[in-house]
Structure 1
Amino acid sequence: MKNKLLRQIGKLYQRQHINNLLRRGIFRNNKRLRFVLSVIVGFITVTLIAIYLTGRVTSVANTQTTSTIKAYTLPEQNTHTPSNTDIYTTSAANTYTFPDQDTYTPPATDTYTLAATNAYKTSWIGNSFGGGNKWVQIQVTDMYVAPDGTVYTNTDWDEAGREVGIYKNGDVIGKADDLHGWGRMGGDAIAVDQKYMYVGMQQSADGKPGEDYPPKGTTWYCIRRYNLSGKVAPFPQGRGWDKSMLIVSTKGKIAGLAIDGQQLYASDKAANLVHVYNTATMKEIRSFKVNNPSKIALDKQGNLWIIQEKNKIGHYSPTGKQLPGAIADVAQPSAIAIDNQNRLLVADNGPRQQVLIYDIANKPKQVGTFGTQGGVYSGKRGEIGDLKFYGLSGVGTDAAGNIYVSNVGFNRSGVDLRKLSPSGKLQWQLLGLQFIDTADADVGTDGANVFTKDEHFIMDYSKGSGKEWQYKAYTVDRFRYPNDARLHTTPTAAFVRRLQGKRLLYLSSEMMSERLLMYRFDGEIAVPCGIFGKGKEDWLANEPTNSSWIWVDANGDGSPQANEYQATGEKDDSVWGWDIDSKGDLWLAAEAGYIKHYRFGGLNAHGCPVYNTKAVQKTAMPQPFKTLTRIRYFPEQDAMYLSGYTSDRPNIDGDWGLVGTEIIRYDNWSKAKKIRWRIALPYEVKRDPKLHIKAMDVAANRVFAVSSKTADVFVYDATTGKQVQQLKPGPEVAGESGWIDIPFGIRAFRRSNGEYLVFVEEDLKAKVLMYRLPG
């Protein structure tokens, strides 16, 4: 009953809140809270404590040489004592005897020797830096560029605490302190003068008793003052625990900030006001009414240009008098700035994906554009180019007239920050692309092409760690395919397959593996062409609401129609296991205790994989499983790999979404389902942090399993089930990793030269780890 309640609470929480939390940038904060909420369900009052500590980071040495190690053993009742070493191994024996019906005889030995030199390299994709003190944050919602070219950014949430980032000359040079934990987060606005940064931020009621925090249920939306090195700068009458906060609202975030001399202007969208503060005292001087104020720019005359409605930029005097010259021809203004010629720069995040340039000396007149019209969708759609923008969230200029833009894609696709000369020549580019994401290699190109949920990378494995990848394309087309589930849900992991000679992309969706998405390719764009879903989806219409369903795109338009759905007749809840085998057959493993096998029906006329509710086989989970969590099938060998919990090694902690306590290989699956071996996975729930496995994959003759909180990768021989290696983040990435959060947070591939590539989710510093193991 406890397990059932935990799963139900978790699912309800996710369905109702996950999309909003991602857009607000606090998803990772609330994942911790979701677990707390699940544990204390049944109580009338729930106290949520959102304190992100450094325990979210695993910092380890790159242990590459091991000696003889005692096999990982399991006493009765799973009450074993953790060993003193951080290395956990599992022999083929697993040191216990299974029930007779399993027809499994353990080998006599319970120890073995790992290779003397388990050489491997740690690398990464998706971030300009490997980690340590240098990484590009996961999102930018506002940006300010100083005359000397220093770039200051702000966002609600960065996993490693760079809510406010400071960049210069293509390098990371700092961040603002203390915006991560104790109820504090960044925000949507930032402004800078010669002495201070003024940062829009949030403070909730999660502080220490006796200190200055809002009452329970209240959030302060503040301007917090910092010096230019990122240290807080308190002021008289300042609020908060360190007296550095100016409370602007308790209703909504500060949407824009700008400075003129000693006057700081702040957009209070919730109140339809612009407040004006003295920067020395932080006291309010005046305020005035502006409908729906957002980003602000101040021209050399001291007048304000304020983004208001969807396509309106208002013009106001410093006292709030509305002036002539409002601009209403921008499809979707998202950022605004004044350049060194007193021209107005407007980032248009609509179909144009350009920076529009206005002469504002008299009546505003568009006199130019910056960037290629259509942005990333011009020319070869999706292909990255210096002047091809996508998801513009910030624009600014320095004293020399260089133009800076921040691209964030659509629905939180990461950060692409660029400096360009006035003539459009790229000066530098910084990337932080990956969050709740992992990668998969294209077998059709021997791993030369790698895909994440939104990005395409070209690989050159002759280069050193962190240099193998080139950002080739952004595969989401917001304007041509507005019903792409990537724009409305939270995809988490890529499965790249070659079927009938065509490259296809499958994506698991949501951290609870709620659905499976299918895509065909049109050039660089991944075109929606199928979904395995269930129940009602907010962004769709006409889908079956009382059962699981399949959508296959019959007319090739990338958007579901009512006649393209098939209802399965039952709702497949708690499906943690998805797999697409090399022949295109689709497998799902349900926690409820069954496996479904959908046979691949070929590609339709538009290149979409066809699956049918009439071509499915449902099988009860085999012994000795009590709960089934992951599945991987290889038709060439008729070999099935399943994971979950067994009667011998049950789920004693009540956790959900994990791989479980065992991986079992079955040979001759289609007929005899004969157990070849059972791997007793590392499972220590009394250890701090807990040791359990979050994701697994199989490639060639290796089985890979990654732990949730320590990010250790345990490597097993797929023939014998013996552990042969253990991988930890190396010095190339400062020996650190965040937690593994997604069910498919590890993907593996063996190249034709025998080298294994192992991709592992690494949310902490906005990248994907890539281990390179010799064959």
Structure 2
Amino acid sequence: MKLSSRFGAALLALQSIVPCAALAQSQLTYTTSWIGNSFGFGDGNWMQQDIQSINVAPNGTVYTNSPWDESGSEIASYQNGNKLAVAGNTHGWGAAGGDAVATNSTYLYAAMSIGNESNALVGADYPPQNQTWFGLTRRLLSNIATGAPFASGIGNSANATKDSFLRVEAVTAGVDAGIRGLAATDSEVYVADTYGNRIVVLDAQTMRQLRSWSVTAPGRIVIDTDTTLWVISGFDSASGASVVHYSNTGTLLAGTLPLPAGTIPTALAIAPSGQILVADNGPSQQILVFDKLTGGQTQLDTALGTRNGLFHTVEGTPGNWRFNGITGIGFDQSGNLYVGQNNEGPRPLGSATVGEGAVLESYGFASQQLNWRLYGLTFVDSGDFDPANPTSVYSGSKRFTLDYSQPTGKEWSYAGFTLNRFAYPDDPSFYLTRNVRGEPMMRRINGQPYLYTLDPYSHYLSVYRFDTAHGEVAIPSGLLAENPIPGTWPAGQPTSGEWMWRDSNGDGVVDANEITSNPSTGSTVGDGFWWVDSASNVWLATPVSGIREMPLQGLDSFGNPIYQYTGAKTFAMPSQFTRLGRVVYVAQTDTMYVTGFTSANPWNSTLWKEAGPLLARYDNWSSGNPSLVYTVALPWNTQSDPQVTTVGVAVAGNYIFVAELFTQKIDVYDARSGQAVGYMTPGASVGNTSGWVDVELGINAVERDNGEYDVLVEDDARAKILLYRWTPAS
């Protein structure tokens, strides 16, 4: 029987709102690439996400250390632009890396700590309750994954580094007593016990203490050609650190380096010429070179690197000799200079920062030519495409350019660092969770670029503008907060409830008189999810109080987007949901995509970052009478191992891309029908693996003019962003 066209249309409409089951999908045909790391992990290598210290061996092997790398590469070695080894056993089960590293001809000595996971770990390998040990691990230089035990060594009894840890300080849990400087000869090891205000000298073989002397908050140590020591004193001092000179027995010598005003010394080295090099993490971002004079005096000879580093002239533009946050310097026996950076500088006392992206590079000291450079630039950070140019990708604090004609993993180039701590020290990213600006949404207003970013938990939406005078730098413009920021910053925020800031005087500083509270909502916004549509209207999916739109009210005289609580519109939570997870609003078609939880699959506190098990599309959303087009049952199994849950949603062109949290899958659906199309997982170029998508906005997508869909996904494990390239079958 032939149906009438009218009846057939009605039947199709009914079918469209029948839930689309999460059918078994087939794997799509696509290419896996990546952005932000010199290695993709296809060969098992990755560049670590942070460098707090380096040591250079005579043969040019560079050893690094940092308290944390997500995949355990806190201590690693590199040579000629290649990664050689990971030390291991400095990650998890109470262990962490540290802030200093040194070598001699036999051993590697590296700062590390051992805790007890909030008193969950007990036994001789772990400190007593409510305590942390700080000290150093000794490893064989021939195999840094193998410990070099000694009579007084402790820890790690179940692995290859058994009894190779020396406890220097035992402190109350939460206190930072990290070792901030190490230097070694074949006979002695010099330890900067920053917390204890002393230099400790150890026998390099027995690890027994030989002597010690008092130094105020010592940091980096370098051994001069005459066996004397240069030491940074006053590490993390608000009044400024100095570089002092000692004999190897602790006698204070003449020759304190005459540092220029504003210098923040962070690393030391002795050049083949005998000159003393000091890395400056102040505004100059240079390496200062000092000559030795008679009578133990010194004078500044020159400075290596571009004045103001990466922020010189076109601010935020990377390049040769444009440094940013130097944490380590050193030379090999051929006179090559090595520079370790993290776009931030050494970790402040008490901070858990993991830097703003690691850079390790080598230059010919005489030729001034770049030898090689490695990048590990992103962590807890996703990417988004510039709406005006899909070859330009922004992360929270970086910009990359893409050349799609290049081979896999070579498409990207590092084009800009958008965070300027000198010009804008009040940038909200310095005060939010992890002190990392991440999870970007790139938008255009009147043709001009604007960057919106989320913290990992989507509690705060930061707004940034750009202008030609500041190059690549994103200028703090506004902040929308679901609740107060813990701590004393900013002055003027309410003690409870929702609030926002707009930089009404254009100076990038959060002034108390620029803050507006929203007492009418109190805490009802809960832990919601922010979304900014293509017209730069701001949406907030509250957990249970509906979906709110804050329309863009225009720009002020400084170009800051204007939002007002009084102009907000609130839409009731759709009846299909009991709690909301994500919203994606497509302004061009007035289409709203919503994910969340249902009575059949309810939310609980262990699922705090998940997007939810159900996705729904609504047309005519802003009409006040939206129509449900379909619902999709997303992959969901909280009883499996690993759990199958969803964490991120992106919509581009005709497709929806859903990131699973633990299982490394990107599920693809037809946005027109809700039908499953297929899935993508990491390919061989990235070792068939990625980390968790561990943030609430960890996926973005774009449809290019050639019909290819490019999908960016946070790789929480190895300091990069995955790039999936997929062209649907015609």
TM-score between both structures, scaled by the size of structure 1: 0.84
1:407 paired residue number: 341
* Residue among 28, 31, 54 paired with 1:118: 28
Amino acid at match of 2:166: L
1:491 aligns with 2:421: no
Which residue pairs with 2:255 in the alignment? Answer: 325
More displaced 10-residue stretch of structure 1: 649-658 or 353-362: 649-658
Equivalent residue, structure 2, for 1:246: 166
- Matched residue, 1:552: 502
- The equivalent position to 1:220 in structure 2, one of 128, 133, 151, is 133
Kept in 2, the 8 Å contact 1:333–1:349? The answer is yes
Q: Which runs of 5+ in 1 are unaligned?
A: 1-101
CA contact (8 A) 1:575 1:629 kept: no
The 2-side partners of 1:360 and 1:187 are apart by 32
Distance 1:612 1:208, change over 3 A: closer
What does residue 34 of structure 1 align with?
A: none
How far off is 1:565 after superposition? 2.1
Q: Is the 8 A contact 1:177 1:232 kept in 2?
A: no
In structure 2, the residue corresponding to 1:334 is in which secondary structure? strand
Three-state SS of the structure 2 residue aligned to 1:546 is coil
Runs ≥4 in structure 1, deviation > 4 angstroms? 102-115, 206-211
Could you tell me whether the CA contact under 8 Å between 1:578 and 1:589 is conserved in 2? Answer: yes
Q: Secondary structure at the match of 1:625?
A: coil
1:433 partnered with 2:368: no
C-alpha contact 1:395 1:404 (8 A) present in aligned 2: yes
Partner of 1:721: 674
Counterpart contact for 1:159–1:763, Cα < 8 Å: yes
Q: Does structure 1 retain, via aligned residues, the 8 Å contact 2:34–2:723?
A: yes
Residues in 1 aligned to 2:15 and 2:357: alpha-carbon distance in whole angstroms: 48
Q: 1:606: how far off?
A: 1.8
1:106 to partner: Cα distance: 5.8
AA aligned to 2:266 is: S
* CA shift in 2, pair 1:111/1:714, >3 Å: closer
- Mapped to 2, the partners of 1:344 and 1:516 lie a distance apart of 45
Distance of aligned partners of 1:114 and 1:243 in 2 relative to their CA distance in 1, 3 Å threshold:
closer
Deviation of residue 590 (structure 1)? Answer: 0.6
What displacement does 1:113 show? 9.0
Rounded Cα–Cα distance in structure 1 between residues aligned with 2:430 and 2:695: 19
Query: Is the CA contact 1:536–1:545 (under 8 Å) kept in the aligned structure 2?
Result: no
2:610 alignment counterpart: 658
> Which residue of 2 is the match for residue 526 of structure 1?
474
Q: 220, 223, 237: which is aligned to 2:152? A: 237
For the pair 1:502 / 2:448, whether they are aligned, the reply is yes
Identity %: 37
Q: CA deviation at 1:336?
A: 0.9
- Residue 202 of structure 2 is aligned to residue 277 of structure 1: yes
Corresponding position of 2:628: 675
Distance verdict in 2 for CA 1:308–1:644, change over 3 Å: same
**CA-CA distance at 1:577 after TM superposition:** 1.8
Deviates more, 1:566-575 or 1:299-308: 566-575
Instruction: Indicate which of 522, 534, 559 corresponds to 1:571.
Output: 522
In the aligned structure 2, how far is the partner of 1:197 from the partner of 1:140?
16
- Once the two structures are superposed, the pairs formed by residues 88-103 of structure 1 within 5 Å of their partners are none
2:301 is the counterpart of 1:390: no
8 Å contact from structure 1 (residues 520, 527) kept in 2: yes
Contact residue 125 and residue 770 of structure 1 kept, 8 A: yes
CA distance in 2, matches of 1:638, 1:746: 22
- Could you tell me how far apart the structure 1 residues matched to 2:635 and 2:560 are? 40
Give yes or no for the alignment of 1:267 onto 2:267: no
- In structure 2, the CA distance between the partners of 1:370 and 1:626, relative to structure 1 (3 Å rule), is same
What letter matches 1:723 in structure 2? A
Give the conservation status (yes or no) of the 8 Å contact 1:458–1:469: yes
Letter in 1 for 2:675: K
Distance 1:654 1:358 in 2: 56
Shift in CA distance, 637/273, structure 1 to aligned 2, threshold 3 Å: same
Q: Residue 770 of structure 1 corresponds to which residue in structure 2?
A: 723
Q: Give distance in 2, aligned partners of 1:614 and 1:107.
A: 38
Q: Which moved more, 1:619-628 or 1:201-210?
A: 201-210
5+ residue gaps in structure 2?
1-12, 172-176, 235-239, 345-352
Give a deviation string over 1:227-267, Cα, whole Å, max 9, x none: 11212111223222211111111131111110134011001
Deviation at 1:558, TM superposition (A): 1.3
Q: Which residue of 2 aligns with 1:164?
A: 75
In the aligned structure 1, how far is the partner of 2:535 from the partner of 2:491? Answer: 31
Deviation at 1:134, TM superposition (A): 0.7
Q: Alignment partner of 1:472: what SS?
A: strand
Q: Deviations over 1:61-92 (max 9, x none)?
A: xxxxxxxxxxxxxxxxxxxxxxxxxxxxxxxx
Distance change in 2, residues 1:236/1:546 (3 Å): closer
Conserved? CA contact 1:593–1:626, under 8 Å: no
Q: Equivalent residue for 1:345?
A: 277
Are 2:327 and 1:377 equivalent residues in the alignment? no
Matches within 5 A, 1:736-751: 736-751=689-704
Change in Cα spacing, 1:574 to 1:657, as seen in structure 2 (3 Å) is farther
Matched, 1:542 2:492: yes
Question: Which of 617, 626, 632 is the aligned partner of 2:569?
Answer: 617
Q: More deviation in 211-220 or 139-148?
A: 211-220
CA contact (8 A) 2:102 2:182 kept: yes
In 1: Cα distance, 2:617 partner to 2:491 partner: 41
Deviation at 1:324, TM superposition (A): 1.3
TM-score, normalised relative to structure 2: 0.89
Aligned equivalent of 1:203 = 114
Write the letter of the residue equivalent to 2:596.
G
Give SS of 1:376's match.
helix
Cα displacement string for residues 474-518 of structure 1 (whole angstroms, at most 9, x for unaligned residues): 111111111111222243300001111101100012x22110000
> 2:93 and 2:19 mapped to 1: Cα distance?
53
CA contact (8 A) 1:536 1:544 kept: no
Q: Is the 8 A contact 2:182 2:191 kept in 1?
A: yes
Q: Is the 8 A contact 2:49 2:378 kept in 1?
A: yes
Task: Classify 1:488/1:618 alpha carbon distance in 2 versus 1 (closer, same or farther; 3 Å).
Answer: same
Structure 2 CA distance, aligned partners of 1:256 and 1:653? 42
For the 8 Å contact 1:260–1:302, the answer to whether it is kept is: no
Residue 647 (structure 1) shift: 2.4
- Range that drifts further, 198-207 or 515-524: 198-207
Pairing 1:70-109 to 2, within 5 Å after superposition: none
Structure 2 letter corresponding to 1:322: L
> What code does the residue aligned with 1:130 have?
G
**Contact kept in structure 1, 2:97 and 2:111, CA below 8 Å:** yes
Q: Is contact 1:127-1:767 (8 Å) kept?
A: yes
Structure 1, 243-252 or 434-443: larger mean CA deviation: 243-252
Residue aligned with 2:266, SS: strand
1:313 pairs, out of 235, 239, 243, with 243
Amino acid corresponding to residue 535 of structure 1 in structure 2: P
Q: Distance between the aligned counterparts of 1:287 and 1:690, measured in 2?
A: 52
Change in 2 beyond 3 A, CA 1:612/1:108: closer
SS of the equivalent of 1:609 reads coil
Pick the aligned partner of 2:709 from 748, 752, 756. Answer: 756
Any conservation in 1 of the 2:52–2:327 contact (CA below 8 Å)? yes
The CA distance in 2 between the partners of 1:390 and 1:273, in whole Å, is 29
- State whether residues 20 and 675 of structure 2, in contact with CA within 8 Å, keep that contact through their aligned partners in structure 1: no
Q: Distance in 2 between matches of 1:213 and 1:300?
A: 39
2:6 maps to which residue?
A: none
Q: Cα gap change, 1:436/1:429 in structure 2, threshold over 3 Å: closer, same or farther?
A: same
After superposition, where does 1:172-211 map in structure 2 within 5 Å?
172-205=83-116, 211=124
- Structure 1, residues 670-689: CA drift from partner, whole Å, max 9, x if none? 22211101011111011011
SS at match of 1:254: coil
Instruction: Work out the number of aligned pairs and report it.
Output: 671
| Residue of 452, 458, 482 corresponding to 2:395 | 452
Structure 1 residues 323 and 774 mapped into 2: Cα distance closer, same or farther (>3 Å)?
same
8 Å Cα contact 1:103-1:675 kept in structure 2: no
- Relative to structure 1, the CA distance from residue 642 to residue 107 in structure 2 (aligned partners, 3 Å threshold; closer, same or farther) is closer
**Separation in structure 2 between the aligned mates of residue 308 and residue 504 of structure 1, nearest angstrom:** 42
Q: Structure 1 residue 685 and structure 2 residue 638: aligned?
A: yes
